Amino acid sequence: MKYYIIAGEASGDLHGSNLMKALQREDPQADIRFWGGDLMQSAGGTMVKHYRELAFMGFIEVIFNLKTILGNIKFCKHDIEQFKPDAIIFIDYPGFNMRIAKWAKQRGIPTHYYISPQIWAWKENRIAAVKRDFDKLYVILPFEKDFYENKHHFPVEFVGHPLIDAIHNRVEKSQTDFIRENELEDKPIIAILPGSRKQEITKMLSVMLSVANDFPDFQFVIAGAPSQERALYEPFLKNKQVHLLANKTYDLLSHASAALVTSGTATLETALFKVPEVVCYKGSWASYQIAKRIITLKYISLVNLIMDREVVTELIQDDCNTKKIKTEMQKLLDPDYRKKMLADYDLLEEKLGGTGASEKTARLIVRNLK
């Protein structure tokens, strides 16, 4: 069968690559065309566009790039018409994917959504469009099944979280080999995960690295996004305590003692690697003012949302400053504080439903199409 997959971000590229491998096992004749990144490309199939051409964050940034976004939507529709897929599989990226899904559904193309839109966070009125435009929904967070089925009477499949597979299936290097191969210092590591988009990286690194000199016994290692060039990070590498590792986030988290993490999927990845973390977020003033008026969640990190309580500290906007980051970092290095957080991380992993998310999803997609 022919599958058209659309993933618009780095996390979607990771989960899309594992889903593609699982689809190929379930359907050896699978012909896959996709929007994604390097990981999906390595899994096979034909790449149409790289997600680095699609990533715009914040309300104001989207407005400034509206012409490009609309052009991508038009191009995507044309490409789907030419490919004539048996199904389209959407991975997260709701602003783009929900527009394509509405169009595809009207043309009778089966629509499957893996990693559903976070309408439980904002724009809950999108539930009408979800019910109308998607044949099947595969959710990865435990509370999403209750949200869709009990609150909105829309049946979904809870498949577990694909990050668990991605982390459990990897081969870990020793600390000595990791430091030697990456030319790092023989010091404990504080991982810095500033995001994957240019706007957030430049904004977050300035404040995250402002505490580097306060922790001379540690080295600060930036997780470079695979979609960005080294030149973007160069201004932040003048401090000898600061290093950059491009496209090696999981290796970095495997050996980190603590982490400063921009809100997003990375907060959950860090927790699943059992690394104590502080969650940081600082957006443009205009985007933040809009967001805080329409998002009613108690927390911004997936860790706290899934646990429904504060497990990791969140420093948002004005609270994301040098003084508070330093204070929270000192807590992360306290043995008793770390022990409690790590125990909470174990409970978090239990809630996420174990391994096999990609296989479960691929099996359900192929079965539904047959």
pTM for this structure?
A: 0.78
pLDDT of residue 55: 59
**Res. 80 pLDDT band, cuts 50 70 90:** very high
CB neighbour list of residue 347: distance below 8 Å, 6 or more residues apart: 307
Whether 236 shows a pLDDT value over 60: the answer reads yes
Tens-place pLDDT, residues 163-216: 998 888 788 889 999 999 999 999 999 999 999 888 789 889 999 999 999 999
* Confidence tier at 265 by pLDDT (50, 70, 90): confident
Query: Long-range pairs for 263-268 at CB < 8 Å and ≥24 separation?
Result: 263/300, 263/301, 263/314, 264/11, 264/195, 265/11, 265/163, 265/302, 266/193, 266/195, 266/223, 267/301, 267/302, 267/303, 267/312, 268/161, 268/163, 268/301, 268/302, 268/303, 268/306
